[in-house]
A and B are shown apart, each in its own frame.
Chain A
Amino acid sequence: MKNVIEVTELRKNYNELTAVDRISFEVEEGEVFGFLGPNGAGKTTTVRMLTGIIKPTSGRISIMGFGIEQDPIKAKQLIGVVPELSNAYNELSAWNNLQFMAELYGVSRGVAEERAEKLLTKFDLYDRRDHKVKTFSKGMKQKLTIAMALMNDPAILFLDEPTSGLDVRSARLIKKMMRELNNAGTTIFLTTHYMEEANQLCSRVAIINHGRIAATDAPEKLKTRIGGLEWVEISFDTHVSVSDLPDIPQVLEVRSSGDKLQLYTDEPGSTISRLVDYARSTDRTIVTLNTLTPTLEDVFIKLTGEGRAG
C-alpha cells in the first residue's frame, strides 16, 4: 500500500503555546485514519496544516507526493475538506453552494451538475436544493458541507469532528456515508473525540494529546497494548459499595456502575477468586460476573493518563 499522506516532525506554535509538537505519521491509500483526542489536543490545528489552511511552524507534509507548502494548489486539488466549524453560504441555495465549490475546483459544468444531483439525492436534500441554506437545520447544513467537500471527487477526504453536536440520526447517516465513500476507494482522515466513532470506523487510529501522538495503530491492536488489563464486572444480591470490598492487590481501580461494581485489574483470574471468597465469607450471592474487554477509551486513558471523559 502506498502512503497518500506523509507527515514528518510537524509542529505548530501559537506564541508560547505548542499546539502540535513534532508529530510524524503516514496515512495509507484506502484507509480510514482516525485522529483521536480530547478538546484542545491539537486535532484541528493538525487538519488545518494538512489541508494547507495554516502554515506549520516547522515540519513537512506531503499529500499524494505534493508538498503542501511547495505545491499547495496541486495538493489541495486532490483533497476534500469538511472543517470543524465551517458553513455553507447561508444566502445561497444548496445547489448554488455546490456549483460554487465545483467552480473553485475547476470541475466542468456538466460533471458538476450530475455530481450535485447525485450528492443531494444521497443526502436527502434534493427537494430543498433551491432553498437558501439559512433555512436548513444543523444536520442538513452539515450534510451539505460534506457534499460540498465531495464536489471535486477527492482522493482524500478530511473531516474534522463531523458528527460533533449532531442528532443521532444525522450522525449515523454521516458515518454510513464515510463507510460507503471509503468502500468506493476514498481515503479518509477523520478527527474525533468519540472513542466509539474511532473504534467503529477507523482502520488505524493515532491518539493525540497535548499536541503529541501517544500511539498509532489499529484499534484492536491498541487494545492489546494495555497488556492483561481488564475490567471485571460483578453484581451481588444485596447492595455492596466500593468501600465494602476487600483490598485486592491486583486491582488498580474500582468503580460502581448502576447496581454493578467494576474492577480494573491486571490479573482477572485471581481477582475473580478473591471476589468469590468475599461473597462466600459475607454470605452474599453473586448475581452476575463478567470480564469486559478493554475499549479504546481504556487505551486512551492508559496512554494519556487523563481522567475519564464521562
Chain B
Amino acid sequence: MMVHNIPDQVRRACAIAKKDIRIYYLLGPVIIFGILSPTFLFLAFMMGRDLPVDFLIAGLMGMTIFFASTSVAPVIAPIETQSRNLERIAAAPVTITTVLLGDVLASVLFGIAISFVPILLGMAFGVVVMHPLTLAAGIVLATFCFSAMGLIFSAAPTSVTSSVMMISMMVKFPLIFVSGVFIPISDLPSWGRTLAMFSPLTYITDLCRYSFQGADAGYYPVLVDLGALAVFLVIFMTAAIKLHEKSLPERL
C-alpha cells in the first residue's frame, strides 16, 4: 500500500460522505432496516415483560446503534453499481480505502444521530446517563465498527440491494440474541456467554448498561468493551477494504 497525502484523502473521503448523506439517508431500505425494524423488534420483545426501564433503554440503545449504523453502508455499493456511478469514483484520484472511509463516515453520522432517539426517550422516562463520556466514546467506536461491518455485507459484486439487505439481516438478527440485548449476558448459559464474546454488539450494549445503570450493571470492564470494539473495527475495516478491492472491478 502506497502512502498518499493523508489529509488530502481524508478531505476527499468527507466529500464522499457528504454525497452519501445527500443521496442515501432517505432511502427506503435505510429507513426500514435502520429505524423501523429495531423499534418493532424492541416493542415485540419487551411488551408485557416487567423489566426496569434503564435496562430496557440500554438494550434499545445498543440495538438501535447496531441497526442504524449497519443500514447505510451496505446499500451504497449495490446502488452505485446499478446506477453506474462507480466507474466515476474508480477513475478519481482516491484510494478504495478513501471511498470506504467516506461511506463509513456517512454511516457513522447516521448511527450517532439515531442514537439520540433512545437517549432522549430514556431521559423522558427518568433514566439518567451516569457516564456520558464513556457512552459518547462507546457510541462513536461502535458506530464506526458497525458501519465497517455493513461494508462487508456489500462486498459481493452485486447490484441487487435486496439481496445485500437479506444477507445483512441473516447475520444481524441472530447476533441480537447472543449480545445481551434482551437477556443480560450474566443470565446466558456458558455457551451463550462464549458466543457473546464474538459479537461486537455485546460490548456496546454492555457499555450502555454501564452508562445507564451504573458500574454494577456492566459485565465486562469498560476498557475491555472499548478495546473489543476497536479490535472489531480494525478487523472489519481491513476485511472490507480487501474484499472491495477485489470486487470493485467486477462491478463495472
Contact = CB atoms under 8 A, between A and B. Distances in A.
Nearest to A83: B87
Given A54-B252, A91-B22, A73 B11 contact: no
Interface stretch (A102-110, A198-206, A248-256): A102-110
Interface string A273-294: 0000000000000000000000
Contacts of A101: 88, 92
Contact of A54 (B15, B22, B249): B249
A86 interface: yes
Nearest to B23: A91
Interface in A61-109: 71-74, 76-77, 79, 81, 83, 85-92, 96, 100-101, 103-106
Interface stretch (A25-33, A45-53, A214-222, A263-271): A45-53
A220 B193 CA distance: 78
Given A73-B93, A103-B15, A104-B15, A92 B23 contact: yes
B90 interface: yes
B85 A86 contact: yes
A74 B3 CA distance: 12
B15 A100 contact: yes
Given A48-B252, A53-B252, A103-B11, A89 B93 contact: no
Interface in A95-130: 96, 100-101, 103-106
Interface in A170-198: none
Contact of B87 (A55, A74, A86, A96): A86
Contacts of A85: 84, 87
A148 interface: yes
Contacts of A91: 22-23
Chain B facing A: main interface SS: helix
Contacts of A86: 84-85, 87-88
B84 A106 contact: no
B71 to A, nearest CB: 17
B12 A106 contact: yes
A104 B249 contact: no
B29 to A, nearest CB: 15
A92 B22 contact: yes
A273 to B, nearest CB: 57
A79 B88 CA distance: 12
Given A48-B252, A54-B249, A85-B84, A76 B92 contact: yes
A87 B92 contact: no
A104 B94 contact: yes
B83 interface: yes
B228 interface: no
A113 B252 CA distance: 30
A101 B18 CA distance: 12
A89 B84 contact: no
Given A48-B252, A86-B88, A96-B22, A104 B83 contact: no
Contact of A104 (B2, B4, B5, B93): B93
B18 to A, nearest CB: 8
Interface string B81-108: 0011101111111110000000000000
Contacts of B18: 100, 103
A81 B93 contact: no
B15 A89 contact: no
A227 B249 CA distance: 43
Contacts of A52: 90-91
Given A73-B4, A96-B22, A105 B88 contact: no
Q: Among the interface residues B15, B16, B83, B87, which one has the most CB atoms of the partner chain A within 10 A?
A: B87
A87 B93 contact: no
B51 to A, nearest CB: 42
A83 B252 CA distance: 10
Contacts of A71: 2
Interface of A: 48, 51-55, 71-74, 76-77, 79, 81, 83, 85-92, 96, 100-101, 103-106, 148
Given A77-B93, A91-B22, 12 more contacts: A73-B4, A73-B93, A76-B91, A79-B91, A89-B19, A92-B19, A100-B18, A103-B12, A103-B18, A104-B93, A105-B93, A106-B8
21 contacts: A48-B252, A53-B87, A55-B249, A72-B2, A73-B95, A76-B91, A77-B93, A81-B88, A81-B91, A83-B87, A85-B84, A86-B84, A87-B85, A89-B83, A89-B85, A100-B19, A103-B14, A103-B18, A105-B92, A106-B8, A106-B93
| A-B interface, 7 closest residue pairs, ranked by CB to CB distance from nearest | A103-B15, A76-B93, A81-B91, A83-B87, A77-B93, A104-B92, A53-B90
